[in-house]
Every structure is written in structure tokens, then in C-alpha cells.
Amino acid sequence: MRIESVEQLRKLEKKYRGETESHPVRVHICYGPGCLANGAQEIGDRFRKVIKEKKLKNFKVEAIKETGCHGFCERGPLVVLEPEGTFYTKVKVKDVEAIVEKSLGKSEIIESLLYTNPADDKKIQRYKDIPFYAHQKRIALRNLGQIDQTSLHDYIAAGGYQGLAKALTAMNPNKVIKEVELSGIRGRGGGGFATGRKWATCAKIESDVRYVVCNGDEGDPGAFMDRAIMEGDPHTVLEGMIICAYAVGSTQGYVYVRDEYPLAVVHLQKAIEDAEAVGLIGENILGTGFSFHIAISRGAGAFVCGESSALMRSVAGEVGEPRAKYIRSVVKGLKDKPTVLNNVETFACIPVILSEGGKAFSKIGTPKSTGTKAFSLVGKIENTGLIEVPMGTTLREIIYNIGGGIKDGKPFKAVQTGGPSGGCLPESKLDLPVDFDTLTEAGSMMGSGGMIVMDDATCVVDVARYFLSFLVEESCGKCVPCREGLYQLHQSAVRICEGKGTDDDLEIMQHLSDMIVIGSLCGLGTSGPNPFLSTIRYFRDEYEAHIKEKKCPAGVCTALITYIITDRCTGCLACIPACATDAITGKKGQVHQLAQDKCDRCGACYAVCKYDAIEIH
Amino acid sequence: MNHDFSKLPEIFDRYSRNPESLIAVLQDIQQEYHYLPCEALQETAKNLSVPLSKVFSVSTFYNAFSLTPRGKKIIRICKGTACHIRGAYQLQHQFETMLGIKAGETSKDLKYTLEVVNCVGACAMAPVVIVDEKYHGSVDVSNVKRLIKRG
């Protein structure tokens, strides 16, 4: 069935919403990456089986929804009963029968599966009342957890494609651009360039062909917002792209998805096919005469392809090396034609900007960084997960109110934002509002939204070394400052971590960093020294401890630490088979011995010891 | 190594032998043979009308491609930031010691390939190890032996 007009789309929305609401209870099972790895698939299968067996009266199998990432990955697998919002955490396959019998059959709540608030030890029934969710505001992630992840039916029922309908029928392309400019939205991929201005530039250039490309090459390690959106709500990305295409006058678009996200490709492919089948993508969209096609382009594992000109070469089947951008890609991009390249999260916000209006969006956040931003909150934090907050929220609010503080009550050390191009910020910067400009001033950057929290057992010198080794691997090698400069930076960092560093190393690193920033061709190089620059700025004492005292205060750098078995050892034998180098010997019931000459400091014994008998010195 | 290359024309046709589809074609070939055999690269060059040098440069530029045969069981350790600070380095060390190969290598008996990947976007369950496409979260060094044996 083709949707021929906007009126028909509105009718469908009403009909589909009615169908969704006709279920007295809906079971939303989170199929996000975290929950899937913990058995969400088996839980879903079990639900279908049990419901079939029990022959529940008021419950249809269609009311089971496989949703995208609900966000609270730490507590997964998650099962949410809507519309009430009852939130079951750490659900196991064996719990399913009880949920069906009690909660679906008799509307009873199963207390043991509810979230316990660590502040007062009380159970919380609805997810909206849990601090992790209560402090968030969701725009880009609005449908995650709310709709079946690849269902066009559910997307339309949730008001999907209404932004597009409004753009196509009530606005001319110029007005769409004005609306996006009014919203003040800036690119969510990290650059923070004004989206409306980018579209306006592209639309003004004389050309027979223009392209719209979605950057789904979420290469920053520690970030998975875009993965969650592409997998959990693919239609919103497509809708944003179609609106953009109408605004700039494009007929062909590409979604570039990184190789490590195979499920995102599957879901986007299904969404494109479903949208094509009803005429939301393809020729004569919604009977308005506007046509636009979308194809998926798969990456093949290269971080540098997140850079605009490298990405466009990769889409065209070339080696993904960036070019000098005297002419911007919005003027001369894919196949040398004017191209709008926006990030997944940016496109996901566009439908809301159109349907709710640019002005409403601009009122959220701060005057210069409007709207909300999604973050993946990971590392040594209590509530790991996917979040979205208004711009201007402070790091402290994010880490403590939403994130629940540092794991196991340990002291906070640093928070890393902006991926390999970003930096580490210390405790004294926690009250900074999170927006594009403030983080850059503090020596880090917003980046695409990875937020990695570190405790006192994380060595920042090791973190800098880690990012530099990442960048050395991923440097495409085209320009010398990046290829050779980052390599030398990394060598110095390795020396320091091995206890062989000297004061000269720091000086050389500082000097090299300045050169790399000035001389590199693309963003990978110009921001490459940031991991070093931000850590030396805030954690110089830790570098000095490595160099002068030959000590790693966090107990991470293997060359500078020793493992010691203390007399707390109960002689349980657990660490002996765990040791790959046979360095530990001992008898049951007697304190074990560790031969330092054999020990390669892998930490296996430390990980398996249940009695805290092994110490790091 | 002997391979049946009769499936190649179908892969080329899937993309209308379009030179711009080079990456997609190589991905499908790798899917089929688990690596990029030399003969397949030569056929690709011929059928997509691109120089063999370009096929070679693309297949060595991107991390996803392998020019050497890979093992039966593929173990991938995520080295994203979240995984790194939760101990991915120790995991890599343990896998390397136990398998006797370095990351990026395949065991001589072609049983195991050990790889590191930059970030698989499953940071919430760090550190992550993927054995033959199955994700294992919150892995610690004491699980390594079991993962090698059973996956």
C-alpha cells in the first residue's frame, strides 16, 4: 500500500496509534547491544512461548515489542511494561513465567525485579521516577525503548514522518532551511558546525546533482549513541535525511555505516525497504512530486573515514584518505558535487525540529549550544548507559545525578570526552556546563558523545599512551606531521609508561604537539595530540611520578608495579591455574608464593582472588 | 590453498560490476572465504575494470580485510576506551600468552585467529570479547581459558 498524501499519513497515524493503545499492557523488551549480550533474545523467545501456553485473554503476541536501547544498560536485560512504565531489571529467562502470570495476568508488581534506589534502599516501580531517567530529556533518543525497533507501523504511530509531511506540503525548501537555522542546532558529530548554515550553503551552489550523506561511522572508541539510534530507530535517521534532501534539492542520499555495526546495516536496510514500499522513499514521496533515494554504504574499519573528505572517498570505493579542504565538502564533496554531510544524531533531531518548530528546540539548552546531546556514559561509573541531556548540564550532574557516581564508591579522577581527539578533565572542571564551546576552552571537546569516567585506579599517562597508539594505528599516513609526529609522541609515552622517560621527553612531546597541530592535513592530526596536551595540563604530577620516582600511582603501568601475595592469602589455590606463566606456587591452606622473575604482571591472580590477598605495589 | 571461485561472478553481478562498489565487493568476498585470496583480487580487478594496484591498496588500507587465511575460531578483543580502562590490555596479554600468537595472527593449525578491534559500541558491558560473532561482556582474565575452549 502506498501512502499517497499527507491526509492519508495522518489517518494512518491515528489508526496505528489506536492499535498500539488497544493493548492494555505492552511488553517492551530491550534489544540494545548490552541487553542482547545478556540474553534479551532468549527472554523474548520465552515470553512468546509462555504467552502461547498460558492462553492469556487480554494479551496478544503483537503487544511484545523488541525495542532499541532503553539506556540503562547497567541493569539489563530490561523489560518494561507499558503504558504504566513498570521497570524490571536484570531479568532472567526463568523470571518470564512469573512476569506473565502475575504482571500480565493479574496486574501484580514483582518487587524483586524492580530497581532499588541506592540513596534510600527503596524500590522504584516506574522508570521515569528513577534518577537515571528523571534528569534526562530525550529528543534524538525519543523513540528508543518506546517502539519496536524496525517497525514502520510503530514509528508512524509515534508521530513519525509528520515532520517530513509538514516540510513537503506546508513549507518551501527555503523555509525548511530557515526553520533549521532558527533551531540553532549544531552538528552532533563533534565539529559543532551550524547545520542550517551548512544546508543553506549547499542549496545555493549551482549544480545538477547534490548529495545528502549521513555519517554513521561512529569511530570514537567509547561511544555508541549513533549505533543505538541506527539500530533502535532507523526511520528517524531516514526522515531527517529526506527533509534535508528536500531543503537542499537532492535526489540521492547515502548512509555510511561503520563495519563494526552489522546490525545497524540490517535494520537500516529493512527501514529503507519498508519506507520505499509505502512511498516515503523513492519517486513522488507522499504524492508531492518530490523524489529521493537512499542507499547504504558500508565502511571497512578505518577511523579516519569519519572525516568528511575521507568518508566521501570511501563511499566512492576509494582508499579513505582525506584531502586538503581549501574547498569545503559542502561545495565539492561526494563525486565532486555539493554534499551535505551530517551525523546520525543530527538527522535524528531534524524531524522534531520540523514538527515542533525550530523555536521550541532553540529554547532547550544554552543560547549558543541549543537542544540536547546524547552521551554514552561508560567506564568506572555506577550507572553505565546511554543518556540524553539538555546542553549546558554540568559534568557533575551527569556523573553523579544520572550516573550515580563512581563505581564502588571510589574517588573520581577524570572524565574523558571527545574520543581520541578530546581530553581528560579533572575534578576541578566538573561544574563546567557541557556545551560545544566550554569543553573546547577547557582543553577537551564535546566530540560525538563518548563520556568515559575514570577512578583512581586509572592511569592518565596510560590513557594518553592508549589514545596515541590508537591514533598511530589509524593515521592514514598521507601527511608527515600526523604520521611521523604521532608516532614519536607515542614512543615517548611508551618510554614514560615503562619508567624510561626523562624530562626531555615531556619537552619534546610539547614541542612535537605544537607542530602536529599546525601542520596536519585533517582533524585526526590537528586534534591528535589532545590526549597528551590535556593530561599534561591537568595531571603533570602523574607524569612526573612516572619519570622521577619511576612509579605509577594508579598501579596500572606493568613495568612499574609488582604484585605481592600478602598473609591474607587463605591458600585457596584459585590463582595458581589462572597464572599463565606458572609464577605462583603453593599448597592448599598455605600462603602461596609468587616468583617475581616469572611474573609478567598480567593481573590474572589479582582478578580471581576473592580475599583481596594480592596487592599491587 | 584451493578455493572454489565459481561464486565470484555472482558477487560482481550483485553490484553491476561497478568500480565504485569495490569495497562492497571485497566485503562480500571476505564474507565468502573469510579472507581475500590472491586469485579473487585479480578477478575483482578484471571484472570491475580497476587496476590491481588499486584493489591491493584498498584491501590493505581498511582494517576489515585480511590477505591471509583466518582461523576457524575468530576471537576479537574490543580495545575501545571503556574496555581499555576496564582491563582489555590484560585480556589481550592473557589471550596472547595462552594461544601463543600475537593479536592479528592466526595459529599455525588454523584453529584460532586473535584480533583486536577499536570499539564495537558495546561499552556498557566492557571489557568485551567477541568469539565468532557472540558478544561476551564483563570478561576478566580468569574467563580467558573458557572462552578459548568453548567460546
- The interface predicted TM-score of the complex, written ipTM, equals 0.92
Task: Answer whether A430's CB lies under 8 Å from A393's CB.
Answer: no
Distance CA A558, CA A577 (A): 21
**pLDDT at residue A74 in the model:** 86
Q: What is the CATH number of the domain that holds A230?
A: 3.40.50.11540
Residues A310 and A330 in one domain: yes
Distance CA A20, CA A76 (A): 25
A63 secondary structure, DSSP code? G
DSSP, residue by residue, A404-464: -SBGGGPPEEEEEESGGGSEEEEGGGTTSB-SHHHHHHTT---TTSEEEEEETTS-HHHHH
Q: For residue A577, tell me if it sits in a domain.
A: yes
Find, among A434, A407, A343, A393, the residue nearest to A136 by Cα: A393
Find, among B128, B131, B137, B133, the residue nearest to B150 by Cα: B131
Q: Which of A327, A342, A362 is the last residue of a domain?
A: A362
Q: Parallel, antiparallel, or unpaired for β A79-82 and A64-67?
A: unpaired
Q: Which of A458, A478, A500 is the last residue of a domain?
A: A458
Task: Name beta bridge partners: A66.
Answer: A29
Cβ contact B62–A602 (<8 Å): no
DSSP, residue by residue, A210-247: -EEEEEE---STT--HHHHHHHH-HHHHHHHHHHHHHH
- Residue A29 parent element (H or E): strand A26-30
Distance CA A76, CA A248 (A): 42
Interface of B with A in 55-84 (CB under 8 A): 57-58, 61-65, 79-84
Q: Kindly state whether B122 is in contact with chain A, defined as any CB-CB distance less than 8 angstroms.
A: yes
pLDDT tens digits, one per residue of B18-44: 999 999 999 999 999 989 999 999 999
Distance CA A141, CA A71 (A): 9
A573: left (phi over 0), alpha (psi -120 to 50) or beta: left
Per the structure, how many domains does chain A have?
5
**pLDDT at residue A132 in the model:** 96
Cell 581459558 identifies what position? B145
**pLDDT at residue A443 in the model:** 86
Q: What is the CATH number of the domain that holds A102?
A: 3.40.30.10
Q: Kindly state whether A607 is in contact with chain B, defined as any CB-CB distance less than 8 angstroms.
A: yes
Q: For residue A6, tell me if it sits in a domain.
A: no
Find, among B127, B125, B97, B96, the residue nearest to B113 by Cα: B96
Q: Read off φ and ψ for residue B117, nearest 5 degrees.
A: -120, 150
Q: What is the CATH number of the domain that holds A602?
A: 3.30.70.20
Residues A327 and A445 in one domain: no
Interface of A with B in 407-466 (CB under 8 A): 416, 419, 450, 452, 454, 458, 463, 466
Cβ contact B84–A221 (<8 Å): yes
**pLDDT at residue B151 in the model:** 61
A95 secondary structure, DSSP code? G
Cross-chain CB nearest to A602 (options B65, B93, B118): B93
Q: Kindly state whether B42 is in contact with chain A, defined as any CB-CB distance less than 8 angstroms.
A: no
Task: Answer whether B114's CB lies under 8 Å from B75's CB.
Answer: yes
Residues A454 and A470 in one domain: no
Cross-chain CB nearest to A470 (options B62, B93, B118): B118
**pLDDT at residue A298 in the model:** 94
Distance CA A38, CA A69 (A): 13
Q: Kindly state whether B132 is in contact with chain A, defined as any CB-CB distance less than 8 angstroms.
A: no
Interface of A with B in 48-107 (CB under 8 A): 73-74, 76
Q: What is the CATH number of the domain that holds A498?
A: 1.20.1440.230
10-residue mean pLDDT profile of chain A (617 residues): values are 92 96 94 89 94 84 94 92 95 95 88 93 95 96 96 96 96 97 94 94 96 95 93 98 98 95 95 97 96 96 92 94 91 95 97 97 96 95 94 96 94 93 93 92 87 94 95 94 97 96 94 96 93 95 96 92 93 88 92 92 86 91
Interface of A with B in 579-598 (CB under 8 A): 580-581
Q: For residue A51, tell me if it sits in a domain.
A: yes
A272 to each of A212, A282, A552, A562, B16, how far by Cα in Å? 15, 10, 52, 56, 20
Radius of gyration of chain A (CA): 26
**pLDDT at residue A38 in the model:** 87
Count of Cβ atoms closer than 10 Å to residue A182 Cβ: 17
Which chain B positions have a beta carbon within 8 Å of A30's beta carbon? none
Question: Which cell is A439 given?
Answer: 569543553
Distance CA A489, CA A46 (A): 53
Mutate to test the interface with B, among A498, A602, A610, A614 (most CBs of B within 10 A): A602
Which chain A positions have a beta carbon within 8 Å of B121's beta carbon? 33, 218, 223-224, 227, 260-261
**pLDDT at residue A91 in the model:** 96
Residues A216 and A281 in one domain: yes
Q: For residue A306, tell me if it sits in a domain.
A: yes
Cross-chain CB nearest to A379 (options B20, B82, B90): B82
Q: Kindly state whether B138 is in contact with chain A, defined as any CB-CB distance less than 8 angstroms.
A: no
SS3 A148: strand
Interface of A with B in 458-477 (CB under 8 A): 458, 463, 466-467, 470, 474, 476
Going by pLDDT thresholds of 50, 70 and 90, the confidence category of residue B143 is: confident
Chain B: residue whose CA lies nearest to A335: B20
Residues A163 and A247 in one domain: yes
Q: Kindly state whether B17 is in contact with chain A, defined as any CB-CB distance less than 8 angstroms.
A: no
Distance CA A261, CA A125 (A): 33
Find, among B138, B137, B146, B92, the residue nearest to A578 by Cα: B146
Distance CA B128, CA B138 (A): 6
Residues A502 and A604 in one domain: no
Q: For residue A580, tell me if it sits in a domain.
A: yes
What letter represents residue A172's amino acid? N
Which chain B positions have a beta carbon within 8 Å of A476's beta carbon? 61
Provide the residue range defining the domain that includes A395: 372-458
Question: What dihedral angle (degrees, nearest 10) is formed by the CA atoms of B112, B116, B119, B120?
Answer: -10
Q: For residue A403, tell me if it sits in a domain.
A: yes
Question: Which cell is A113 given?
Answer: 525485579
Cross-chain CB nearest to A33 (options B121, B136, B145): B121
Residues A191 and A329 in one domain: yes
A593 to each of A279, A562, A567, B98, how far by Cα in Å? 72, 13, 10, 22
Average pLDDT over residues B103-132: 91
**pLDDT at residue A604 in the model:** 83
CA distance B136 to chain A (A): 7
Residues A485 and A594 in one domain: no
A414 to each of A185, A399, A539, how far by Cα in Å? 28, 11, 10
The long-range contacts involving A537-545, CB below 8 angstroms and separated by at least 24 positions, are A537/A423, A537/A443, A538/A414, A538/A424, A538/A425, A538/A426, A538/A428, A538/A429, A538/A443, A539/A414, A539/A424, A539/A426, A539/A460, A539/A461, A542/A459, A542/A460, A542/A461, A543/A461, A543/A496, A543/A501, A543/A506
Cβ contact A463–B85 (<8 Å): yes
**pLDDT at residue B142 in the model:** 82
Cross-chain CB nearest to A298 (options B19, B24, B117): B24
Residues A165 and A209 in one domain: yes
Q: For residue A467, tell me if it sits in a domain.
A: yes
Q: For residue A9, tell me if it sits in a domain.
A: no
Cross-chain CB nearest to B85 (options A302, A314, A379): A379
Q: Which of A412, A436, A458 is the last residue of a domain?
A: A458
Cross-chain CB nearest to B118 (options A219, A385, A458): A219
Q: What is the largest CA-CA distance in chain B?
A: 51
Which chain B positions have a beta carbon within 8 Å of A319's beta carbon? 57-58, 61
How many CA atoms, within 13 angstroms, populate the side-chain half-sphere of residue A60?
Answer: 8
Question: Which cell is A462 given?
Answer: 596510560
Task: Name beta bridge partners: B128.
Answer: none
SS3 B84: helix
Residues A434 and A472 in one domain: no
Residues A116 and A190 in one domain: no
**pLDDT at residue B134 in the model:** 87
Which chain B positions have a beta carbon within 8 Å of A603's beta carbon? 87, 90, 141
Q: Kindly state whether B117 is in contact with chain A, defined as any CB-CB distance less than 8 angstroms.
A: yes
CA distance A413 to chain B (A): 12
Distance CA A158, CA A453 (A): 34
**pLDDT at residue A37 in the model:** 85
What letter represents residue A611's amino acid? Y
How many CA atoms, within 13 angstroms, populate the side-chain half-sphere of residue A235?
Answer: 30
A387 secondary structure, DSSP code? E
Going by pLDDT thresholds of 50, 70 and 90, the confidence category of residue B1 is: low
Interface of A with B in 241-270 (CB under 8 A): 259-261
Which chain B positions have a beta carbon within 8 Å of A573's beta carbon? none
Cβ contact B23–A603 (<8 Å): no
pLDDT tens digits, one per residue of A106-132: 889 999 999 999 989 999 999 999 999
Distance CA A420, CA A523 (A): 11
Question: What dihedral angle (degrees, nearest 10) is formed by the CA atoms of A65, A71, A77, A83?
Answer: -40
Count of Cβ atoms closer than 10 Å to residue A324 Cβ: 10
Cβ contact A224–B24 (<8 Å): no
For A61-80, give one letter per residue: b (16+ CB within 10 A) or e: eebbbbbbbbbbbbbbbbbb
Cross-chain CB nearest to B122 (options A37, A219, A467): A37
Q: Which domains does chain B have, with CATH numbers?
A: 5-61 (no CATH), 73-149 (3.40.30.10)
Residues A568 and A605 in one domain: yes
Distance CA A484, CA A10 (A): 58
Task: Answer whether A499's CB lies under 8 Å from A461's CB.
Answer: no
Distance CA B113, CA A356 (A): 51
Which chain B positions have a beta carbon within 8 Å of A598's beta carbon? none
Cβ contact A470–B120 (<8 Å): no
Cross-chain CB nearest to B141 (options A220, A376, A607): A607
Cβ contact B98–A580 (<8 Å): yes
Task: Answer whether A37's CB lies under 8 Å from B131's CB.
Answer: no
Question: Which cell is A542 given?
Answer: 602523574
Cβ contact B135–A454 (<8 Å): no
Radius of gyration of chain B (CA): 17
Question: Which cell is A503 given?
Answer: 624530562
Find, among A255, A259, A417, the residue nearest to A342 by Cα: A255
Chain B: residue whose CA lies nearest to A475: B61
Task: Answer whether A9's CB lies under 8 Å from A279's CB.
Answer: no
Cross-chain CB nearest to B65 (options A34, A300, A474): A300
A177 to each of A185, A265, A343, A379, how far by Cα in Å? 11, 29, 17, 39
Cross-chain CB nearest to A221 (options B80, B137, B145): B80
Distance CA A336, CA A113 (A): 56
Cross-chain CB nearest to B124 (options A74, A220, A259): A74
CA distance A314 to chain B (A): 8
Which chain A positions have a beta carbon within 8 Å of B126's beta carbon? 378-379
B134 to each of A75, A385, A468, B103, how far by Cα in Å? 20, 20, 29, 19
pLDDT tens digits, one per residue of B69-98: 999 999 999 999 889 988 898 899 889 999
SS3 A171: coil
Which chain A positions have a beta carbon within 8 Å of B144's beta carbon? 604
